[in-house]
Structure 1
Amino acid sequence: MLIHACISFLMPVHFSNVPEPRLVNSMWAAFFISSLFLLFLLEIPGFAFSRLMCFSRIDSLLAAPLFSIALLEIISIIYSKLGFYASWVSLSLPCLLLALILLLIASFSRSRNTDVAKPSSGRSNWLILFLYIGIAFVIATKTYVLPLDGPSSFIQDSDNSFHLAVIRSFIDSGDYSTVNVGIYHDVMSSSIISVASGFYPAAWHLLAALVASFSGQDVAFATNVTNYVMLLFVLPSSVFLFLKTVFKEERGVVIAGALVLFAFNSFPWGTLISVSGPLFPNTLGLMLVPACAAIFINTIGACAKRFSLNYIAAFLLGVLSLCFSHPNAIFTMAVLLAPFVVLRFSRWYVVKQKYVDSDMPLSVRLTSLAIPALLILVIWIVCFINPALSNTVSFTWGVTASHLQAIINVLALSFRLPAGNYLLALFVAIGFFALLRNKESSWLCFSYMFAAIIYIIGASSSGFLKHFLAGFWYTDPYRLGACASLMAIPLAAVGLEAVYSLALRIFNRLGYEPWAKISACFVCLIITMCALYVNDFNLPGFGRVYTGLGDYQNCSTLANDSKRDNLFDPKERVFCKRVAEFLEKDDSLIYNNADDGSAFAYPLYGLNLLYRRSAAEMLGNETSDNQTLRLHLDKLATNEDVQRILKENGIKYILDLDYGGEVNDERCYYGYYTWDKWQGINSIEDSTPGLKLLMSEDDMRLYEIDYSAFN
């Protein structure tokens, strides 16, 4: 691979004889080279499209990931329909060629039309962008990268077994299409599992697959690179574009946004390592929401009147990108923008009726608000009753908090317990009340208020209202908390800017006018860094104080620790790697227990497993053949049904990572695992008729099925 050549150039060593520390260093070099590759791929196509749409240079740079993702997905879908093999080369080259064509067209159009209006983008905006990226680099490296147990570290949660399997399937099949997602592209049919493929929001998986294809590293490595770039640039650029769009004349708020961007433990940190996740696709979708919302605001704003068609096209492409990332990002944007639409329509309606605020009847005001509100409600209802979304909106998360506790969680910004952030909550409260007096930006208060109400109802209640309001987020309180945190970022920025203004007035009154601005900036910086970005600490006389980022770092360090007892522990990884080498030229299907960690052996080592993800969504919704093997596999020498199922599905091997299946302190299973659910494979012994023991180490086994021994 290209990256191997780059690393060899930078670090000319013979890898077969290199000590372990050097190998680790080379992997980290590959990590940052791959990050640059992904950053360029997210920037170049989208930047060219933005320039064609008459965006300013800095806005083009900020909005580029939103458009690049949509373009990459569209090309992937076309490749899938035409049967073309996708890889980083075959996807990158068309994107770069398209970018060149778009830039040439944009340049030609501007040369022909000298009357093109460009949104202003002074040098200060570029300096603020450097501030955003600089802070993002420090925080993302410290908070996300350092807790990793190496570049190929991964979290062994149930959802991640699926995410990694999808990436591996993309690479193996050469089909990166979001409308043809599946983890069994190489299996024609099965009476045990569903091998069907279809739509799944896989933009995040596409990016990770491109990184894996480029780097030649495993899929876990690729996921960490993808998440790092999302934190390093996608989120900062998206929020910066939104804040500079909404607060055009309030540069202090835009700057403050860089300081509070990563302070919320519910987003992005809570979705990167969630009780209900990790929610990587959802994280990407939410990160793109501010940029898409900014384009919508510009679409109907004064600065875009002359180029409304351009902005409409850009917005529609952005919505497509949100859909490819995660559909609930569209509903998050709807909650964010609904108050903006209502207030903007109300203002237009009042002007049309030729009233001014001083003599406008209450009925006219109520009508101006009711018309757009009812229209939004109708659209929401149509989406809610849409059969395509029925499984999503009907999904039920249990009650996780009382009504009072849910309200306290909102006030303390502790959507992801146990860590609250009271100073950040104070900034949000100050910003909330400050914005209420701002006619241009007061709608942000209602956006946050609606998101908080949806969270409270989703976390603390049950019934129709819960599904109607929170169903588009699976009624998951962690996703809802992430949405509320995203909408609190502008409020926190306004609150921090208000603190700065107060500090500036105090220093001026104390007679420090020449140094007032520097002193106020220093105070705000110290308060922000020390109070919002510190790890957990012990307070004498009080006890342990949990902070937002401290909670995340502790959880991430533990979840990424490969040496602790885990589902897929180091010995099991080595054993599965040996199995992959042993069966390198044999692609026969392998039966395994989906809940003993073996599912990760497919994405990491390419083992042709029957169960390539955990059984969380399988049990209770399975075929009769599947159930027969789960319960009676040990009787393969005598049970004719078992024999038929094994032959029909081409199963040749059995992989057992926890011989006997008994739960003890050294063995980890998913929480819903019980011995009897997998009594077929758990009852197998080395002497079981019809099996040949091929590999054995501790409680790990690889058997070959001896069909000649069947009755």
Structure 2
Amino acid sequence: MTWWQTIPIFAMAALIYILPGFLVLGAAGVRRLNLAALAAPVSTTIASCTAVVAPFLHLPYTPAVYFTVSVVLALLVLAARYWWTRRGKTWGNLANNGPLNAHDLGRWTAILAVPLGVAFGAVVIAGRFITGFGSPENFSQTFDNVYHLNAVHHIVQTQNGSSLTLGNLTEASRYFYPAGMHDMMALLQMLTGASVPASVNVGTIVIGALVWPLGCMFLVSRIVGYRPVPLIATGVLAAGFSAFPYLLVGFGVLYPNNAAIALLPAVFGLVIELFGLSRMPATSIWPPLLALCATFPGMVLTHPSAMVALIGFTAPVVLGRLVKLFLEWREGAGSRRAVIVWALLSVAYFGAAVVTWMILRPGLGAAPWTPFQSNSRALGEILSSAPMGTTAAWMLAILTVIGLYVIARNLRRTWWVLGVYLVAAVLYMVVSSWPPGTFRTLLTGVWYNDSFRLAALLPVASFPIIVFGAEWLLWRFRTLLEFVSKRRTRKEPSVDGAMADAGRSRAQLGRRYVAVIWVALGVLGVASQGGTLAPVQQRLGDAFRVSANSDLVDSDKLALLKQVDAIVPKDGVVVGNPLTGASLVYALADRQPLAPHIFGERTEKEQLLLDHWDEAAFNKDVCPVIKELNAYWALDFGTKTVIPTEDPFPGLADLTSGSAPDIQVLATSGKVRLVRTTACDK
């Protein structure tokens, strides 16, 4: 498959991510950027919640059910809106729901700001992902991908995508695992019939190239206002961070975290508006509150760590609201009661935040990552938007410093924005450079003490500051242009008819400024692509390349997996060591593995085969289980594992060494084999 052949898959992915949310939000009266930016978070909520509810209603989780639920919800919202307005009440709007405030930048600048900003970011991000992936059907050669690819295929096969039972993909381990991302990818595969890797790759590109820039635009519009220059700058700079949306795809691979962080800016923007700190407040509390209820569940069911990040980022917002109310009371524009009530609410919020932070923290056994650098280096990486040892992004570093200067000049109004940045910075500094201990685990254990996961959060917090810096810099171009124009005017002779009137001069200056702005934005976009992004793209290429030395499924293994569906019957179960990539027979060959994931609880019979399958010729307990489970087949993928570990699957040891009796070789590719035991045919 070529990338040109994936165009219909991209179209279907955009449909799945955008259309349901678009219908529901449109029925609610949401328009323009708010509609575009919130569509994907709302669609994710519809998909993940439908997947949870469907089993209780005895409904399959399919595209037909997903889109039907979306249409029904849109009709219900439309009916509720009609009923509400018929009673003479105002439905209300989110902030900045009108036309862009263009000032003197011109009508076309206002019209094209959002689409061109998104288009720039989308093209660059998609291009880097496509280059990094290599082929649409390549897949990450990393540990976590055994689960993620199989989870998507599991949802397609079982038509059950409930986060309550996805677990580790076995009946014995049906417990909670956030399935929001897998639900969306499974819908894409069901709708298009594409392979699991192609569906996941295309879905990942749509998340990074479309959902992320739109969400960032929404967040920035809450903080700096609904103006063309900041919004265009946001779209242009959305593709300039190495930490997101590329880092988690090149490491891990952490698909759910990646998808949840892409949703985070839009949800955080709603929180800012709900707490009354947006540049232009909503008409009432209800629009942002209802929108938050429609987007928050999807983000949490994609990955709960995004909720914990939201709790941390919201802390300065809560304090910002308290300080705002206090200052209004001191100036005679507010009430003392409001200050007291919000102070109590703030105490309750921080108490609940601490409890949530503690409850969602996994055990230390699941958080083995240790610090790897000094405090000073961590600080430099934060300021230069180049975490995890990547090359400094100098353009973003310059804009960050300028943005911090802008905040310092307007500290009373924007100090809480700096607070959000400091929350993300402290988390990354602690996890990457502080010694292991109770305090480090207390703060960062929710993210498994993993520096990569916290590095990916930095762009969400630094984006507003960088846009502050970009807008300040662009306005300086205007000042320079005005200065040059005045100098030229003074040099011209004041003769009747020789000088243009003042109105024409201003118009000419405006046109020149618009041209300069567009050129400067283009320069910013190109300059932000230097340095730090090249190593990250190379990391993507290394992680997704299928070669003779791949860590998970090398070229020989892949060639053998392509033969499995023609040899093993549809109801056959294949035994294999997940650490060698053998379990990907599920996602890549549509055959059920005995162990679909490296982890997970097993039934007694499954564990018996994992411990003794190669003893079928002489262990009387083995053949009855092989016959019952129809597990006659096994993949001998050697002893190389994706991560160094003790072998937890001893039932394949003799098979790998070649000493297991009564083994029939069905297919080979290089040194790997598909075999069948004949010991149980008697």
Both structures adopt the same fold (TM-score exceeding 0.5): yes
- Tell me the residue number matched to 1:3: none
1:200 equivalent in alignment to 2:188: no
| CA-CA distance at 1:139 after TM superposition | 0.8
Do the aligned partners of residues 370 and 415 (structure 1) sit closer, same or farther apart at CA in structure 2, a change above 3 Å counting?
farther
Please give the alpha-carbon distance, in whole angstroms, between the structure 2 residues aligned to 1:598 and 1:225: 24
State whether residues 28 and 78 of structure 2, in contact with CA within 8 Å, keep that contact through their aligned partners in structure 1. Answer: no
Do the aligned partners of residues 369 and 72 (structure 1) sit closer, same or farther apart at CA in structure 2, a change above 3 Å counting?
closer
- Tell me the residue number matched to 2:456: 482
| CA-CA distance at 1:495 after TM superposition | 0.9
Q: Per-residue CA shift, 1:497-516, capped at 9, x if unaligned?
A: 12212232223323378365
| CA-CA distance at 1:415 after TM superposition | 1.1
State whether residues 346 and 369 of structure 1, in contact with CA within 8 Å, keep that contact through their aligned partners in structure 2. Answer: no
- Tell me the residue number matched to 2:662: 690
What amino acid maps onto 1:432 in structure 2? L
Deviates more, 1:109-118 or 1:78-87: 109-118
Do the aligned partners of residues 637 and 584 (structure 1) sit closer, same or farther apart at CA in structure 2, a change above 3 Å counting?
closer
State whether residues 374 and 433 of structure 2, in contact with CA within 8 Å, keep that contact through their aligned partners in structure 1. Answer: yes
What amino acid maps onto 1:530 in structure 2? V
Please give the alpha-carbon distance, in whole angstroms, between the structure 1 residues aligned to 2:281 and 2:522: 39
State whether residues 169 and 182 of structure 1, in contact with CA within 8 Å, keep that contact through their aligned partners in structure 2. Answer: no
State whether residues 556 and 670 of structure 2, in contact with CA within 8 Å, keep that contact through their aligned partners in structure 1. Answer: no
Do the aligned partners of residues 417 and 709 (structure 1) sit closer, same or farther apart at CA in structure 2, a change above 3 Å counting?
same
State whether residues 691 and 705 of structure 1, in contact with CA within 8 Å, keep that contact through their aligned partners in structure 2. Answer: yes
Which of 417, 421, 427 is equivalent to 1:448? 421
- Tell me the residue number matched to 1:290: 265
| CA-CA distance at 1:122 after TM superposition | 1.0
Q: Per-residue CA shift, 1:56-84, capped at 9, x if unaligned?
A: 44422321111121122222222112222
Matches within 5 A, 1:366-381: 374-381=347-354
Could you say what secondary structure the match of 2:675 adopts?
strand
Do the aligned partners of residues 708 and 339 (structure 1) sit closer, same or farther apart at CA in structure 2, a change above 3 Å counting?
closer
Q: Per-residue CA shift, 1:308-338, capped at 9, x if unaligned?
A: 2343232123221221111111122222222
Matches within 5 A, 1:14-413: 24=1, 28-29=4-5, 31-103=6-78, 105-106=80-81, 109-110=84-85, 113=88, 118=93, 119-122=96-99, 126-182=111-167, 184=169, 195-248=172-225, 251-274=228-251, 277-301=252-276, 307-352=284-329, 374-386=347-359, 389-391=361-363, 395-413=367-385
Could you say what secondary structure the match of 2:676 adopts?
strand
Could you say what secondary structure the match of 1:441 adopts?
helix
What amino acid maps onto 1:492 in structure 2? I
Could you say what secondary structure the match of 2:162 adopts?
coil
What amino acid maps onto 2:57 in structure 1? L
Do the aligned partners of residues 392 and 67 (structure 1) sit closer, same or farther apart at CA in structure 2, a change above 3 Å counting?
farther
Higher relative contact order (CA 8 A, sep 6+): 2
Do the aligned partners of residues 42 and 453 (structure 1) sit closer, same or farther apart at CA in structure 2, a change above 3 Å counting?
same
- Tell me the residue number matched to 1:500: 474
- Tell me the residue number matched to 1:593: 577
Which of 393, 396, 404 is equivalent to 1:421? 393
Please give the alpha-carbon distance, in whole angstroms, between the structure 2 residues aligned to 1:652 and 1:230: 40
Unmatched tracts of structure 1, length 5 or more: 1-23, 189-194, 535-546, 664-668
| CA-CA distance at 1:451 after TM superposition | 1.0
| CA-CA distance at 1:518 after TM superposition | 4.3
| CA-CA distance at 1:110 after TM superposition | 4.9
Please give the alpha-carbon distance, in whole angstroms, between the structure 2 residues aligned to 1:318 and 1:92: 17
Please give the alpha-carbon distance, in whole angstroms, between the structure 2 residues aligned to 1:240 and 1:305: 17
Percent of residue pairs identical = 20
Q: Per-residue CA shift, 1:275-302, capped at 9, x if unaligned?
A: xx12211111111112112222332438
- Tell me the residue number matched to 2:499: none
- Tell me the residue number matched to 1:611: 595
What amino acid maps onto 1:140 in structure 2? I
- Tell me the residue number matched to 1:458: 431
Q: Per-residue CA shift, 1:589-647, capped at 9, x if unaligned?
A: 2211222222222111112212223x3x46xx989987876666544433456567656
State whether residues 149 and 562 of structure 1, in contact with CA within 8 Å, keep that contact through their aligned partners in structure 2. Answer: no
| CA-CA distance at 1:247 after TM superposition | 1.4
Q: Per-residue CA shift, 1:528-574, capped at 9, x if unaligned?
A: 2332114xxxxxxxxxxxx2221122122232222452131233222
- Tell me the residue number matched to 1:582: 567
Unmatched tracts of structure 2, length 5 or more: 101-108, 489-507
What amino acid maps onto 2:539 in structure 1? C
- Tell me the residue number matched to 1:525: 521
Alpha-carbon RMSD across the aligned residues, in angstroms, is 3.4
| CA-CA distance at 1:452 after TM superposition | 0.4
Please give the alpha-carbon distance, in whole angstroms, between the structure 1 residues aligned to 2:39 and 2:522: 33
Do the aligned partners of residues 251 and 166 (structure 1) sit closer, same or farther apart at CA in structure 2, a change above 3 Å counting?
same
1:638 equivalent in alignment to 2:627: no
Please give the alpha-carbon distance, in whole angstroms, between the structure 1 residues aligned to 2:304 and 2:659: 51
Could you say what secondary structure the match of 1:398 adopts?
coil
State whether residues 507 and 519 of structure 1, in contact with CA within 8 Å, keep that contact through their aligned partners in structure 2. Answer: no
What amino acid maps onto 1:572 in structure 2? K
Do the aligned partners of residues 115 and 317 (structure 1) sit closer, same or farther apart at CA in structure 2, a change above 3 Å counting?
closer
- Tell me the residue number matched to 1:192: none
Could you say what secondary structure the match of 2:538 adopts?
helix
Do the aligned partners of residues 369 and 629 (structure 1) sit closer, same or farther apart at CA in structure 2, a change above 3 Å counting?
same
Do the aligned partners of residues 36 and 111 (structure 1) sit closer, same or farther apart at CA in structure 2, a change above 3 Å counting?
farther
Do the aligned partners of residues 463 and 355 (structure 1) sit closer, same or farther apart at CA in structure 2, a change above 3 Å counting?
farther
Deviates more, 1:287-296 or 1:176-185: 176-185
What amino acid maps onto 1:377 in structure 2? F
What amino acid maps onto 2:68 in structure 1? L
1:654 equivalent in alignment to 2:650: no
What amino acid maps onto 1:128 in structure 2? A
Could you say what secondary structure the match of 2:664 adopts?
strand
Do the aligned partners of residues 71 and 97 (structure 1) sit closer, same or farther apart at CA in structure 2, a change above 3 Å counting?
same
Structure-2-length-normalised TM-score: 0.85
Could you say what secondary structure the match of 1:701 adopts?
strand
What amino acid maps onto 1:654 in structure 2? A
Please give the alpha-carbon distance, in whole angstroms, between the structure 2 residues aligned to 1:157 and 1:181: 21
Q: Per-residue CA shift, 1:230-273, capped at 9, x if unaligned?
A: 12321122111111122126543233212211211011111221
- Tell me the residue number matched to 1:433: 405
What amino acid maps onto 1:279 in structure 2? L
Could you say what secondary structure the match of 2:674 adopts?
strand
State whether residues 244 and 456 of structure 2, in contact with CA within 8 Å, keep that contact through their aligned partners in structure 1. Answer: yes
- Tell me the residue number matched to 2:106: none
Q: State how many pairs are aligned.
A: 644
